[in-house]
Amino acid sequence: MRLRNISLPALDIGMVRETARNWRPYLLGMGVLLMLFLGVWGALASATIKAQANVRDLQERRVVVEREVATLQEYADIEVRAVSAEKLVQQALGTNPDWQALLTSIGRDLPNGVWITEFTASYKAGSGATQADTATAGSGELLLRGWGANHAEVATWVDGIAVLPGLADVRYQFTSKDKVDGRDVVRFEVKTTLLPGEPYQPAVRGGVR
């Protein structure tokens, strides 16, 4: 068998270069698109990881807040019970006079020439204030009997107690001359209206009230 020589045409270098120049814009465009795709994918992946971290952080914060809310609810329940107890005390105490201050003032203003032999008080306490109504003032009277060295001493003392806080309408019931241990004295009976005291004020609790 006889072999034939086949001759291939020589490559046209110019044509190859022309073809390469024609494909170069497409290749560059595909490279740019690939880089953009990789950039977008990387950004989305980073955003997803960050979002997942934020979700975990929010879940942890939610657990902490729920625990704090439960604790605050316990304090709120305690506050409600405390307020209810204070209202009961307020209703029970009402508006009684400040007996200690009143008796101290009467005794302090008592002159040397006047003696009290009888002290009688009658007082009906009012109700304390509640959410449904206001405080009801109490009412009462104070009766003082005794004797003094003379009318002037008794009158001076009566004028003094007439301006004491908690008393009103101080008036003589009677005065009469008498003798005590052989001495001339003036017996007296004085009656005065008892004014209601201040309503009970609950103690202020730090940060609650």
Domain that holds residue 22: 13-93
Residue 51 lies in a domain: yes
Do 150 and 174 lie in one domain? The reply is yes
Domain count, the chain: 2
Asked if residues 186 and 147 have their Cβ atoms less than 8 Å apart, the reply is yes
Residue 177 lies in a domain: yes
Do 112 and 156 lie in one domain? The reply is yes
Q: What pTM value is reported for the model?
A: 0.48
Q: How many of the other CB atoms lie within 10 Å of CB of 138?
A: 18
Do 75 and 109 lie in one domain? The reply is no
Do 21 and 86 lie in one domain? The reply is yes
Residue where a domain terminates, one of 72, 93, 114: 93
Q: What is the pLDDT along the chain (209 residues), one digit of tens a residue?
A: 555 555 545 555 666 567 766 777 777 777 777 787 777 777 777 878 887 777 788 888 888 887 777 777 777 777 777 666 666 665 555 577 788 888 888 888 788 889 999 988 888 766 554 444 444 566 789 999 999 999 999 999 999 889 998 888 999 998 999 988 888 999 999 999 988 876 666 555 544 44
**In angstroms, what CA-CA distances link 66 with 59, 144, 145, 208?**
11, 65, 68, 21
Do 45 and 84 lie in one domain? The reply is yes
Do 108 and 152 lie in one domain? The reply is yes
Residue 157 lies in a domain: yes
Residue 202 lies in a domain: no
Residue 69 lies in a domain: yes
Do 130 and 147 lie in one domain? The reply is yes
Residue where a domain terminates, one of 51, 72, 93: 93
DSSP the chain: -------PPPP-HHHHHHHHHHHHHHHHHHHHHHHHHHHHHHHHHHHHHHHHHHHHHHHHHHHHHHHHHHHHHHHHHHHHHHHHHHHHHHHHHTT---HHHHHHHHHHT--TTEEEEEEEEEEE--PPP-SSSPPPP-EEEEEEEEEESSHHHHHHHHHHHTTSTTEEEEEEEEEEEEEETTEEEEEEEEEEEEPP-PPP-PPPPTTT-
Residue 175 lies in a domain: yes
Residue where a domain terminates, one of 73, 93, 113: 93
139 residue type, one letter: S
